[in-house]
Each structure stands twice: as structure tokens, then as C-alpha cells.
Amino acid sequence: MSGQMILVVEDEPKIALLLQDYLKKAGFKSKILEQGDIVADYVQKHSPDLILLDLMLPGLEGTEVCRAVRKFSNVPIIMLTAKVEEMDRIIGLEIGADDYICKPFSPREVIARVKAVLRRVVPELERNPRIHGPIRIDDELHQIMIHEQILSLTPIEYELLKTMISYPGKVFSRSELISKVQGYDFEGYERTIDSHIKNLRKKIAKFFPDQDIIRAVYGVGYKLVTPENFLNTDGA
């Protein structure tokens, strides 16, 4: 884990420096920002591995910072709040934070939580495809959503769609796809992949009425093409 970069957003210098000190001892790099309104820009440019985000901040409140960052990034966010009541409130807001720590905290506790959250995070390469236009993949829940609607998928369909979304345009051979769904009581015959793909296509067809985003590639297998309406419907 050494060398991972933690962004500390905290306007009280004493707390920020204390955290930085402990993070350094734990082998992390860190950067302190004291204002909320410059966080999203910083995250976009520097891609920190995790954000410790104070709730009460000059410029932009922590909850709004969290929302702003979530529009483009899955970076883990741990909120720091001064009161238990505040914590209840922000949890209720479902702003997309990964964890919450109440002030006053022991720096050791913060480091332990940072490590715990980072352990849960899938590596960057697998994390990137999790938000793909209107398609969201939730690895923890084994769910795929399109335009915020949860697809009702079998475990095999979930793995197949997840695999193809991860690399739009890449042609997957049937044997490659079979290797992805092994362990799911799958018979392993190539033609059974075809029937799973057929069912999958039916389930996602209504979201992409003008085109088939899963395409057969003759003699090879299947690929997922980036839907044409990805850009103009994202965030709609």
C-alpha cells in the first residue's frame, strides 16, 4: 500500500497536520486542501487513492464536495464530522461516502479506517469500468444498473455483462466468456453462452431501443459496443 496518496480536506490546520503526520508514518503520501470548492478540480487532476473529507468547510460543504466528486469518480471518501447527529444526517443524505468518522477521533483510528476502506476497493483497472455512461456496476451488491434501474440478472448474466462492459469494443471469444463464469455451475459448452447472451440482450434491449449493444462477431464471439446514446442521456 505504500505510496498511495490520501487527500486530506480539512480547514483546521492542527487536525490536518496531525492526520498528515500519521498518514506519513503509515506509509501514505498526502495532500492537504483547506477549502471545499477546490476539491473536485484537484481530484480530477491528481486522482488521489482516498479522500478524508471534513464536513464543515469554507467554500463548499463536505456533502456537496462528495456529490461533486461522485459525478466523475469512485475514489473512496471518508467523511469527518464533528457530531454524531451530523453523521446521522449525512448518512441519510446518501451522498456516496464510503465511511464516516466522528470527531474527535484518534489518528490511529483514522489510519485503521483508511486501510480498511482501501482494502475493500478493487484495483483501479477494475474500478474504472464501474461507471460507464448510464451503466453502473456495483461489485459489492452484484448489481448492474442502467439509468438507475437495477437489472434483474442471473449471476452468469451479471458476469457476462460486467466483463463486456469493462472493455467496450473488445471481442470476447466464447471460451473467454466461459472462463469468466466458471464457478457458477456452468456447463461450459460454447452454445450455452449463446443462450445466456440471448437472454441478456432481451433484458437490456428496452434501454437501447435503437441498437443492439451486444453484437455477435462471426466465428469469434461477442463484443459490447458503446451505445450511441451514452453521452446525451448520461445524467438525465
Q: Which is nearer to Ca ion, 54 or 159 (CB)?
A: 54
Q: Which is nearer to Ca ion, 68 or 135 (CB)?
A: 68
Give all strands (DSSP E) within 143-182, no chain letters.
143-146, 149-150, 172-173
Tell me how far apart the alpha carbons of residues 189 and 174 are, in angstroms, rounded to a whole number: 9
In the complex, what is the shortest distance from the CB of residue 113 to Ca ion, in angstroms, rounded to a whole number? 18
In the complex, what is the shortest distance from the CB of residue 34 to Ca ion, in angstroms, rounded to a whole number? 9
- Contact between 91 and 102 under an 8 Å Cβ cutoff? The reply is no
Instruction: Reduce the DSSP state of residue 116 to 3 states and report it.
Output: helix
Cα dihedral: 57, 61, 62, 65 (round 10): -120
In the complex, what is the shortest distance from the CB of residue 135 to Ca ion, in angstroms, rounded to a whole number? 36
In the complex, what is the shortest distance from the CB of residue 54 to Ca ion, in angstroms, rounded to a whole number? 4
- Contact between 80 and 106 under an 8 Å Cβ cutoff? The reply is no
Tell me how far apart the alpha carbons of residues 154 and 165 are, in angstroms, rounded to a whole number: 16
Cβ-closest position to Ca ion: 56
Instruction: Reduce the DSSP state of residue 153 to 3 states and report it.
Output: coil
In the complex, what is the shortest distance from the CB of residue 154 to Ca ion, in angstroms, rounded to a whole number? 47
In the complex, what is the shortest distance from the CB of residue 10 to Ca ion, in angstroms, rounded to a whole number? 6
* Residues in the chain, overall count: 236
Q: Which is nearer to Ca ion, 35 or 211 (CB)?
A: 35
Q: Which is nearer to Ca ion, 9 or 23 (CB)?
A: 9
Q: Which is nearer to Ca ion, 83 or 120 (CB)?
A: 83
Q: Which is nearer to Ca ion, 23 or 146 (CB)?
A: 23
Name the residues that contact Ca ion, by CB under 5 A. Answer: 11, 54, 56
Q: Which residue has the cell 470548492?
A: 37
